[in-house]
Structure formats: structure tokens, C-alpha cells
A and B are shown apart, each in its own frame.
Chain A
Amino acid sequence: MAKEKKLAPGDRAPDGHCLDKSGQETSLSGFWQEGPVLLTFLRHFG
């Protein structure tokens, strides 16, 4: 199993595109640029 590189406080957060609930493309940075974000990664929806 490949080891992913873990982030630590002080690291720059990776940005990337994803979709919102309506299918619109958005970027994570668009959220944190408006203010601090509590970002939680879910294992899955279900």
C-alpha cells in the first residue's frame, strides 16, 4: 500500500478542483480565501 505524504501545521495546503452538490466545478482555495476552513475528508458518501 503506497504511503501518502502527510501534511503538518505550517505546510501549504494542496489546492485542486472538485464539484459542489449541484455539479458545479469549484476549488478548495476558493473556500479558504474567504476565511479559515475546517476541511473534513469523508471516506465516502453513504
Chain B
Amino acid sequence: MELHREEIEAAGLRIVALGLGEPKHARQFGDKLAPNVDCLTNEEPTLHAAFGIERGNILRLMAPDAIRAGARAASRGHSQGQATGDAQRLPGTFIIDRGGVVRYAYYGKFAGDQPELAELVAWWRENGGERESAK
């Protein structure tokens, strides 16, 4: 996310990351990996559930694609520390417009499954996202 932050923000999108844990965990994560991203936290996965984000079983969390995603993250200098919250919760990414309407929804199928952010930004631009951002 941080790697594409400038491109995402140039397209008029503000990045907000919501994790599970205490504020100190969000602070530690943000300071280390995403210093320019709004990192929010919940101790309970109520918002994760409200957005339809499921818990994964061991097959989805340890799928070959999940292991490859972990290796990619490690190659970029990210390391897995002690997990907080709910490590079985799958990831998810959404674009929400200023009216509170979901414009894009991506549900991770395995641990570390994120949309290709450069393609997502291109999609947002092609679909009038910058006009939306400029309102």
C-alpha cells in the first residue's frame, strides 16, 4: 500500500487501513510500514464482519498463493511479528465515495491477497473517480 501511496493519492483517494488490535498496535504498524496512511483499529471485528469479510480456514490461510504473497512481502522488507486481533480474518479492499456508496469491492481469497493497486487506480481514473474526488 505504501509503495503505491503517491499514485493512489494522486488519483484523489485517501488511504485508510483498518486492522484488529489496540491503538498501540496500529501505531506500531503505521510507524513501521505505513507512516503516511491513516491506520485505524478495532478490538473486535465488527466492522470487518459488517463489510462481509470472512474468516479463512487453514487451507485458505496457508494456500500456495498465500505463501507466495508472504514471500513477496518479505522480499520488500516486511516481516511478520506477533499477530494481534484475528489472524484468520481474510483481507479486503474497498473504494467508498463521499456519499458512502461502495464503488469497488475486493475480497481477499487467501492471506495476503490484495488487488493490484496500480490497476485499481487506473480503474478508478477510467471510471470518473478523479471527478468524484474533485467535488
Answer whether A and B are interacting partners: yes
Residue pair B133, A44 in contact (C-beta under 8 Å): no
B31 CB to nearest chain A CB (Å)? 8
Tell me the complex Cα distance, A39–B81, Å.
23
* Majority secondary structure of chain B interface residues (helix, strand, loop or mixed): mixed
Which of chain B's residues have a CB closer than 8 A to the CB of A4? Answer: 49, 51-54
Instruction: Contacts A1-B54, A18-B47, A40-B16 given; indicate if A45 touches B21 (C-beta within 8 A).
Output: yes
Instruction: Contacts A6-B107, A9-B103, A14-B47 given; indicate if A40 touches B18 (C-beta within 8 A).
Output: yes
A46 CB to nearest chain B CB (Å)? 4
Interface residues on B, range: 35 or more
Chain B residue at minimal CB-CB distance from A24: B23
Which of chain A's residues have a CB closer than 8 A to the CB of B98? Answer: 32-36
Tell me the complex Cα distance, A21–B18, Å.
11
Which of chain A's residues have a CB closer than 8 A to the CB of B80? Answer: 46
Tell me the complex Cα distance, A1–B12, Å.
37
A3-38 vs B, Cβ < 8 Å mask (1 yes, 0 no): 111111111111110111111001011011111111
Question: Can you show 19 pairs from A to B with CB atoms below 8 A apart?
Answer: A1-B55, A4-B52, A4-B54, A6-B105, A8-B105, A9-B103, A12-B100, A16-B46, A18-B18, A18-B41, A20-B39, A31-B14, A35-B135, A36-B14, A36-B98, A38-B16, A39-B95, A41-B18, A41-B94
**Contacts from A to B (Cβ < 8 Å):** 1, 3-16, 18-23, 26, 28-29, 31-46
